Amino acid sequence: MNSIPPAVVLLGGALALPLLPRSFRSLAFVLFPAAAMALLPSLEDGITTLRFLSFDLVPLRVDRLSLAFGTIFLLATLLGGIYAFHLKELGQQVAALIYAGSSLGVVFSGDLFTLFVYWEIMAVSSAYLILARGMERSRRAAMRYVLVHLFGGSVLLAGILWHFVDSGSLLFNGFNREGAAYLIMFGFALNAGIPPLHAWLADAYPEGTVTGSVFLSAFTTKTAVYVLARGFAGWEILLWAGVIMALYGVVFAVLENDIRRLLAYHIISQVGYMVAGVGLGTETAINGTTAHAFCHILYKGLLFMGAGAVLYSTNRTKLTELGGLARATPVALSLYMVGAFSISGFPLFSGFVSKSLVIHAAELGHEGVIALLLYLASIGTFLHTGLKLPYFTWFGPQRGLKPAPIPWSMYAGMTLTAGINIAIGVYPKLLYDLMPFPVTYRPYTTAHVAETLQLLVGTGLGFWLLIDKLGGKSTITLDFDWFYRKPAPLLFRLTAGSLNRFFTAAELTTSNLAHRLAQACANPVEFASRFLSQSGDRGDRDIGGDKVLYDPNRYRPPVGFIILIVLSCFVVLLAWNLFLA
């Protein structure tokens, strides 16, 4: 049995990458995830334990759930590496491998300590992919991203410690409904982007680098889905949280003008389907959650690849600044539409066979309202991601843009990703065979296909009738981040500003005290005479008419006197020790 965690391959690759020749790094960036993927078939179900600081840790737990998420994480890393083959920036390459490796570490962790270590590494490494864009806006977004995730990590750690005190175990299994479990769920829910803990996602992902946003769209929210499925399956609170996410993300995506921010909001919506599946908790629902996470990583990655290609060639991402690109970038448009058809649930595309599995699980559980609301969210998906974004980006008004050539590697990554989305849609068994439980669902029934086409055609007709109302608007959409961004300056003054003033005053006081002490030590007799003299004469003397207020040599004791004091102290201490002995 192979006991090497796949995460070790990617993390080791991140350490080795700076040592490789610059010309070989892009190839190595692809080879490391390929090597890790080659290890997956040799992993057998079970756990690998490790003794650390008197704790029994489980750095590797292999079952069908972890293998399904591990497979798609490695596939996403491989496809992202191909897409970014033209990239020569070492920092982004190393950060991407660490990010992907730590996400894999979370997936294969069998204990909460190992999971938490990988969880924090994941947060820091992903922040670099935002910071690396090198703009002031991205720097601020990266800082907010780090602060939010450190806060979530702190809550998660508190929950883990509480759970350990109560249970005496760090093993990561299903949780009981107790206080510690709710803290742990809060930490996971923040990474999943469950409102109102979601604003960091739409704030940070659009500010990442071209390739960084592709990686960001794949890992953070899906690791959160995995840990929720592992620890909180069947919790009804997640069922309704998922439905709220699905609708909330759609509404804000329709309002957005920035194409990458639009896609970021739609991550919230699509993750909502997965969280709702976790809340249902049945085998069919967990299959649906896993299948939709698998396909979402593929088609959302493809959509961010398409948006990244537009950004790379035009240096613009707002619908009000884009348009008329269809003739200049027809390949990018065609490949983007594969992702758009997939996410909208078109037959013969991946989303059709995964999203419907979650809704099917809701119907089996007699959750008719849940199924109806999820269908409603699907309509909004096609409206903004499948129609609004591509129309106003590639077919909108001419803006006089002259797109730069798009690297072949970006097209290669998009083509492979599009091919996998189509392959899964045409032959769902490729996906269903990877699921945690046996899948008996058959998506291609006459009723399901007809129902889906009716929704899609109706949405397309509505877009055509309202096309003048759905264009991008140069406005700022307020979200829950307002509640921590607006009071931020005041909080800074009350906390950091107050502390800064306190430490400045303490430093000045300490400096003055040290100066006084130095004067006293330089000439104790003269220093003391300032306070003991009754005549007001403190030993000042005139030199050429100038009054000297302090002369350290006037009353300085002779060196011999100091030596006598030191020797006397030594003799006293020696006698004291002899007496005690």
DSSP-assigned states of every residue in 74-98: HHHHHHHHHHTTT---HHHHHHHHH
DSSP letter at 41 equals: G
- Round to whole Å and give the CA distance between 363 and 282: 12
DSSP bridge partners of 61: 47
DSSP-assigned states of every residue in 358-390: HHHHHHHTT-HHHHHHHHHHHHHHIIIIIIIHH
List pLDDT tens digits, range 353-369: 998 999 999 999 999 89
Q: Could you tell me the CA-to-CA distances from 254 to 262, 300, 376, 472 in Å, in that order?
A: 7, 17, 14, 9
List pLDDT tens digits, range 116-167: 999 999 999 999 999 999 899 999 999 999 999 999 999 999 999 999 999 9
List pLDDT tens digits, range 244-277: 999 999 988 888 889 999 999 999 999 999 999 9
Q: Which residue has the tokens 């409904």?
A: 177
List pLDDT tens digits, range 405-454: 999 999 999 999 999 999 999 999 999 999 999 999 999 999 989 989 99
Spell out where 1-82 has E strands. 46-52, 55-62
DSSP letter at 549 equals: S
What is the sign, positive or negative, of the torsion defined by CA atoms of 95, 96, 99, 101? Answer: negative
Domain ranges across the chain: 233-475, 488-534+547-580
Spell out where 275-327 has E strands. none
pLDDT for position 561: 74
pTM for the whole structure:
0.84
- Round to whole Å and give the CA distance between 552 and 559: 14
* Cβ atoms of residues 246 and 373 within 8 Å: yes
* Cβ atoms of residues 92 and 132 within 8 Å: yes
- Round to whole Å and give the CA distance between 343 and 417: 13
DSSP letter at 46 equals: E
* Cβ atoms of residues 347 and 425 within 8 Å: yes
Please report how the helices 446-465 and 350-364 are oriented relative to each other, as an axis angle in degrees rounded to 10. Answer: 110
DSSP letter at 328 equals: T
